Amino acid sequence: MSDRRETEEITAPLLDYSSIQTKEGIEDDEDQTLCLKVWIESKKLWKVVGPAIFSRIASYSMFVITQAFAGHLGELELAAMAIASNVVLGFDFGLLLGMASALETLCGQAYGAKKYYMLGVYLQRSWIVLFLCCVVTFPIFIFATPILKLLGQPADVAELCGLVVLCFIPLHFSFALQFPLQRFLQSQIKNQVIAWVNLIAFVVHVLLNWLIVYNFKLGIVGTALILNFSWWVIVLGLFLYTVCGGCPLTWTGFSGEAFSGLWEFLKLSASSGVMLCLENWYYRILIVMTGNLENAKIAVDALSVCMNINGWEMMIPLGFFAGTGVRVANELGAGNGKGAKFAAIVSVTQSIIIGLFFWILIMFFHNELALIFTSSDTVLKAVSKLSILLAFTVLLNSVQPILSGVAVGSGWQSYVAYINLGCYYLLGLPLGCLMGWVFHQGVMGIWAGMIFGGTAIQTLILAIITIRCDWEKEAKKASMHVKKWGDVKHNM
């Protein structure tokens, strides 16, 4: 017996390798599953993000090209166009873009829940609400010159800017049609259509600027009028695609139902508008504040160059903003809370990686950044000094818009509006004023205070909210939300 036991002990394996291999196999499977999930989610995300980035870069480049043409006409023209496009038109752009983002919540969740018919109704309601908003804000364009003088802008800049703003009136009303159309198509993953239409408009814009500004010498007024025409090319292209059979499931024609439930729709649009316009207006105010410094023209020129570079790069995070909003809304509308959370994580991670790349790029090429806009040595030196703040702004912007996209997809606009108000206007602006004027740091002080006092704190708060979110609860709320809005006509 003893010999048998000894033999069994000797022949028995010291370690159970089969069990270890099984555990390792499970871990490998889990790694492969995670990689596969990331790959699948990335493909879904980039179906929206890729075309969204391209179309946003193309449309924003129209503004950049317009300002670049104005900049080569002279420093006064550059300052006037910078204020007209970045401040006056920027305020208008931010409000209407924000109001249209209500469709990202409603259309995204309805599409995820397969309530296709309601997307066309939501689109028409958004057109009505945004057009009324355009009528209300129309006097700003008429009285732009006295408003800018009241805000402390130099008289010659304010006068020329007022002329440019009057030329932008058709552009103002185009926003009411284009922004809802973009969100309507985007929620159905039809971003390729938006990208192609923007490409056509961009080519038209470049050709017309070269032909009219350089050959016919129409100056700053010519550049402004060309921008109007190019933007309406986008509106016409998207409208014709939508109503001429491009969206058979979601567009069934004009409906009187669009006039029902307008009050509830207006409230959601207003909260969306406040949320995004508070973000969008923040850096517009920076340019206005800079206009009150000594050597205002140089300071405004340098800052507007930085804002244009920032705005250009910002189209990438805004593409992720669009993609995140669509993916989160679709998953919540389908009742998949875990899918919405995973989509948010993948989007934030990829955007941060891209943001780090551009941060490094700006730090290395800070002396060459402004050459596309101006050949003035004074402005080039001023831009080079501001480049470090530009780099950190770009880095923060690789996170903040994506978290805002999560908020839009989840329907948190009203909560985020309060956060933006507190961080940007109760903390960031006062800190910027303190550093700019009390500590005599000029435009660098104003900008630094607004970055680290407002944007950084807001990003941190949104990150905490997103991390602590109960996604299954949000999915249930989204299902109730879709049912509520889908039953509007039955409750009339």
pLDDT digits (tens, 9 = 90+) for 393-402: 999 989 988 9
The mean per-residue pLDDT over the stretch 290-318 comes to 78
Instruction: Taking each helix axis as running N to C, give the angle between helix 169-186 and helix 17-71, from 0 to 180 degrees, rounded to the nearest 10.
Output: 160
0.85 exceeded by the pTM?
no
For tokens 């929620």, what's the residue? 187
Length of the chain measured in residues: 492
- In the chain, where are the structural domains located? 42-491
pLDDT-derived band at 98, boundaries 50, 70, 90: confident
33-62 tens-digit pLDDT: 888 889 999 998 998 898 988 888 888 888
pLDDT given for residue 487 in this prediction: 55
Q: Compute the distance between CA of residue 208 and CA of residue 195 in angstroms, rounded to an integer.
A: 20
Mean pLDDT, the chain, rounded, equals 82
Given a cut of 60, is residue 8 above it in pLDDT? no
**pLDDT tens, position by position, 406-421:** 888 777 877 888 888 8
pLDDT digits (tens, 9 = 90+) for 54-83: 888 888 888 878 877 777 677 777 778 878
Instruction: Give yes or no for residue 199 having a pLDDT over 70.
Output: yes
Q: Say how far apart CA 68 and CA 402 lie, in whole Å.
A: 29
Angstrom distance (rounded) from CA 108 to CA 105:
5
pLDDT tens readout for residues 317-340: 988 988 898 889 888 888 888 898
Checking if the pLDDT of 5 tops 50, the result is no
pLDDT of residue 326: 87
pLDDT over threshold 60, residue 16 = no
Bin 217: left if φ > 0, else alpha if -120 < ψ < 50, else beta.
Answer: left
